[in-house]
Amino acid sequence: MEEILRDHPAVDVNWGNEVQWTPLHIASANGHARIVDILLAHPDTDVNRLNKSRDPPFSLACSANRISVVRVLLKDARVEVEIPGRLEFSSLWCTASSGYLEIIRWWIASGREMDLGQPGNWKTDAAGEARRQGKTEVATLLERFKENPAETRHFVRVELGWYGKINYVIGKNK
């Protein structure tokens, strides 16, 4: 991919097939984090482009439980994480209702926005939908995050080793 983009500057990185899946959509949905990283480095890549089903690459990575791709996408500030996909459900709602705990954890750790929706509204309440689907760990984490985002983010970052060994040890001693 790097060679193609380097040696053929006229290549359209946003080309879409008959259903408007771009290379970024395909790489995101199929878990190719290195390709996603290369495409994000290209200045012309439309990181939020919608395919024919109205899904952005981030939504596809979340719904396919592609943790390594989600981690790469979360690092890019241009990636809008709250664009609703098909049927107007948010990426967070779809991820929560599917019970993809690791994606939720990395999302919280990233510090990126998280629209948890309106409690009681099945179409927007991510924690409520997770609980309704029997995804208790996800529901509990999202409810905890809603109550105390800073503390929950710190807890998740420690669990994920976000701070590195030295900071983790210092943090435990405080």
Reported as a single tens digit per residue, the pLDDT across 83-128 is: 877 767 889 999 999 999 999 999 999 999 998 888 777 777 999 9
Residues 85 and 59: beta-carbon distance below 8 Å: yes
Query: Half-sphere exposure of residue 17, counting CA atoms within 13 Å on the CB side?
Result: 8
- Please write the tens of the pLDDT for every residue from 124-138: 799 999 999 999 999
The pTM assigned to this predicted structure is 0.86
Residue 93: the pLDDT is 92
pLDDT for 172 beyond 60 = no
Structural domains for the chain:
1-88 (1.25.40.20), 101-174 (no CATH)
Q: What average pLDDT does the segment 63-91 reach?
A: 90
| CA-based nearest residue to 41, from 9, 2, 3, 11 | 2
Q: Which residues contact 165 (CB under 8 A, 6 or more apart)?
A: none
Percentage, residues of the chain above pLDDT 70: 90
Q: What is the pLDDT of residue 168?
A: 43
CA distance 162 to 167: 9
